[in-house]
A and B are shown apart, each in its own frame.
Chain A
Amino acid sequence: MNVLWLVMISVSVVFAIFTGNLEAFTKSIFDGAKSAVEVSLFLLGIVSIWMGITRILEDSGLIYRIAHLFKPIISRLFKNIPGDHPSITAITLNVLANLFGLGNAATPLGIKAMQELDALNEDKETITPEMMVFIVLNTASIQLIPFSVIGILATFGDSNPAAIVLPVLIATAVSAMTALLVLAAFRRFFG
């Protein structure tokens, strides 16, 4: 992350100098700050709502029933989580929210999962293999029905916007599996 950020900032400034976009570059940095505040405020509301809903699900025990159903799959992907650890529940719910395209619900549940996984982490500054699997699953975007895309297509008069469901499903399944394989390959080479 450190290297990536350094490269992005350096390349941007050098390009801005060469293309004479310095003014636009400076302005854009403050635009970025504005977006960060806006996204955070939006997230504050959404995250709080889903944290509230999740707490009801926890207090009523429903969350544990849902998680129990998916435990066999989850514990295969995440090998070092103890059998009845709360992170399994959070991971399951995050994956389900992603599958059903509920992006707004997936983020808070993902944050919760990361916090639970961090409870198992001995070196708090360094990422664990389980966290990597979890983040890679999320960046690979597993999704059953791409609601937002279908919505836009329908708005502009596509007669059959649902035709993209199957191609997206195949693309997303293949790329998620490849992403996990890439992670496994890196793990083998870099420990």
Chain B
Amino acid sequence: MIRAVEAISLLIIPLFILFTVWYGTFKKVRVYDSFVAGAKEGPAIILKIFPYLLTIFMAIKGFQASGAFDYVRDAFYGVFAFLDLPIEAVSMSIFKPLSGSASTALFTDIVQTSGTDSMATRMSAVIMGSAETTFYVLAVYLGAVNIRKTRYLVPVCLVADLIGIVVAVCVARYFF
């Protein structure tokens, strides 16, 4: 099973690119010119997104460095200890919506320190797999179209994140 999954994950992008290029050629598309024309859109999009990424990254990094993040995490520790849940999952659930690379690093650390078959690892794995870097998605997608009035979108995303983490914890508890 794992071999098959690994093989698929290695093959899917190369095969998709090959298929696209061949199908295009079959349909008489000048694939080189098409690709260049599409790629030309890239820089303009990134220029538009950059200020939004900067704004959100600055807020998140500052929040971590100021010690406010630790305070929030400690508050959650209490709740998790009370419910007899692994505290590693707390850091995971706070990090995941904030930063993709940080949560990957944190997950690797949890696997290393508590072992692959521990509850901490499995719960973190489910959170990793079922949550998304909300703030990054918001910055990139809203930045791409310069939307400033987001109405109730941000509260919805935060409530949904919270529910998502509760669901992930329950599912991990049930399965492992």
Contact = CB atoms under 8 A, between A and B. Distances in A.
Interface of A: 1, 3-5, 8-9, 11-13, 15-16, 18-19, 21, 24-25, 27-29, 31-33, 35-37, 39-40, 43-45, 47-49, 51-62, 100-102, 105, 107-108, 110-111, 114-115, 117-118, 121, 124-127, 131-132, 134-136, 138-141, 143, 145-154, 156-162, 164-168, 170-172, 174-175, 178-179, 182-183, 186-187, 190
Given A19-B66, A135-B138, A55 B130 contact: no
Nearest to A31: B61
Given A1-B142, A164-B129, A168-B129, A127 B5 contact: no
Contacts of B2: 150, 154, 160-162
30 contacts: A1-B150, A12-B59, A13-B62, A15-B67, A28-B66, A36-B54, A40-B53, A43-B46, A47-B42, A48-B41, A54-B38, A56-B24, A60-B20, A102-B12, A114-B145, A118-B147, A124-B145, A135-B141, A136-B156, A143-B130, A146-B129, A151-B9, A156-B111, A162-B1, A167-B175, A171-B126, A171-B171, A175-B164, A186-B152, A186-B156
Interface of B: 1-2, 5-6, 8-9, 12-13, 16-17, 20-21, 23-24, 26-27, 29, 31, 34-43, 45-46, 49-50, 53-68, 71, 104, 107-108, 111-112, 116-117, 121-122, 125-126, 128-132, 134, 137-138, 140-142, 144-157, 159-161, 163-164, 167-168, 171-172, 174-176
Given A107-B140, A136-B160, A158-B116, A29 B132 contact: no
A172 B96 CA distance: 14
Nearest to A7: B59
Contacts of B29: 56, 59-60
B129 A171 contact: yes
A190 B122 CA distance: 38
B156 A149 contact: no
Contact of A4 (B57, B64, B154): B154
Contacts of B27: 59-62
A190 B152 contact: yes
A112 B110 CA distance: 36
A68 to B, nearest CB: 16
Nearest to B26: A60
A86 to B, nearest CB: 14
Contacts of A28: 61-62, 64-66
Those 9 A-B pairs whose CB atoms lie nearest each other, nearest first? A55-B38, A48-B42, A28-B65, A146-B129, A141-B132, A175-B164, A168-B129, A179-B160, A32-B61
